[in-house]
Amino acid sequence: MSEGFCGVYEEPPVTAILLAESSTMMRFIISIVLALLIIFIFGAVRVLAILPVRRPTHITEITQSSRIVEITTPAKSHVLFILGSGGHTAEMFNMIQNLSPETVTHRTYVFSSGDKHSAQRAESFEATSYGNLVAVASRERKERPGSIGYRLVEIPRARAVKQSLLTSPFTCLLCLIRCLGVVRGEDMRSFPKQMRELWRGMEFPDVVVCNGPATAVILVFAIYIYKFFGMCNTRVIYIESFARVTTLSLSGKLLLPLADRFLVQWPQLAEKYHGAEHRGFLVS
């Protein structure tokens, strides 16, 4: 009868176990770091790819028949105008008073909550310039036959006057979420069927025009989120306020690297800020 072999099992040393676990954890951490690095590099390259490239030009002439200089849009285009309270709204409508409705066929006016003045100015401008009496999705439409008309959209304020800095990030996030919906035309779902057909394929604006309100920063950021993922090719045109003579506004400083066209109304600003253009006074 053969004798069986009986082996003795020995537990691995504690040090060996700790080294093995440490090695596994280190590989996991390195993998996470490499993945984050790759994502960061891809994101940085993508951001650089979508940022506009502008050359500084110092021109002192302007064709007064076109207040906003050289808006290059398709034959049938959608332009979104960001309205601010008080002087910003007045300057905006002064600059766009001669835009042709045959080219800018679809128009969106965005205003902050509580800014009834800007909403009324937009309705008055449309009624006077194009004969559109009411064009808000939630109201009865009384547009002239064949008119595509406009959208009048209210968004929450990013930050109210004297609002606490602790609550500002929350309100900015709410504003951004709303802006994301506005840019992709989420509110068009409530349009009557006929109007939905007229706006079909025009949800994303071809051009966004802004002139300084803080809301513009959030909305342009929303546009760049869509541009980052290749969902739109919206161009941004920023016109600095006539009141800014020696320095840019905070909105202007933030949007200077993001705007496809950055227009200032005083020549010294074009000399001071790279990429800014001076083409004379755009308001009168």
Domain membership flag for residue 270: yes
262 membership: H or E segment, kind and range: strand 261-264
Domain membership flag for residue 2: no
Distance of alpha carbon 205 from alpha carbon 189, whole angstroms:
16
Q: What confidence tier does 54 reach under pLDDT thresholds 50, 70, 90?
A: low
Q: Are residues 80 and 192 in the same domain?
A: yes
Domain membership flag for residue 5: no
Q: Are residues 26 and 77 in the same domain?
A: no
Q: Would you state the pLDDT for residue 135?
A: 43
pTM of the model: 0.78
Q: Are residues 63 and 161 in the same domain?
A: yes
Q: What confidence tier does 100 reach under pLDDT thresholds 50, 70, 90?
A: confident
Domain membership flag for residue 4: no
Mean pLDDT of the chain: 80
56: pLDDT strictly greater than 60:
no
Please give the residue that has the higher pLDDT: either 102 or 278: 278
Q: Are residues 140 and 234 in the same domain?
A: yes
Per-residue pLDDT of 126-152, as tens digits, reads 888 777 644 444 344 444 433 567 889
Q: Are residues 167 and 183 in the same domain?
A: yes
Domain total of the chain? 2
Q: Judge whether 132 and 106 are in contact, CB under 8 Å.
A: no
63: pLDDT strictly greater than 70:
no
Q: Would you state the pLDDT for residue 10?
A: 56
Q: Are residues 44 and 175 in the same domain?
A: no
80: pLDDT strictly greater than 80:
yes
Domain membership flag for residue 160: yes
Mean pLDDT, to the nearest integer, of 35-42? 88
Q: Are residues 156 and 32 in the same domain?
A: no
Q: Would you state the pLDDT for residue 65?
A: 38
Q: Would you state the pLDDT for residue 17?
A: 64
**Taking the CB of residue 129, how many other CB atoms lie within 10 A of it?**
15
Domain that holds residue 68: 58-278
User: What's 130's domain CATH number?
Assistant: 3.40.50.2000
Cα-to-chain-centroid distance, residue 222: 4
Domain membership flag for residue 1: no
CA atoms lying within 13 Å on the CB side of residue 45: 6
Q: Would you state the pLDDT for residue 228?
A: 93
Q: Are residues 224 and 242 in the same domain?
A: yes
Domain membership flag for residue 283: no
Per-residue pLDDT of 240-261, as tens digits, reads 988 898 999 999 999 999 999 8
Q: Are residues 123 and 244 in the same domain?
A: yes
Distance of alpha carbon 9 from alpha carbon 2, whole angstroms:
22
Domain membership flag for residue 154: yes
Q: Are residues 108 and 231 in the same domain?
A: yes
Per-residue pLDDT of 156-190, as tens digits, reads 887 776 777 777 888 889 999 999 999 999 988 88
| Residue 204 DSSP code | S
Q: Are residues 75 and 44 in the same domain?
A: no
Mean pLDDT, to the nearest integer, of 10-22? 64
Q: What confidence tier does 61 reach under pLDDT thresholds 50, 70, 90?
A: very low
Q: Judge whether 240 and 248 are in contact, CB under 8 Å.
A: yes
Q: Are residues 93 and 169 in the same domain?
A: yes
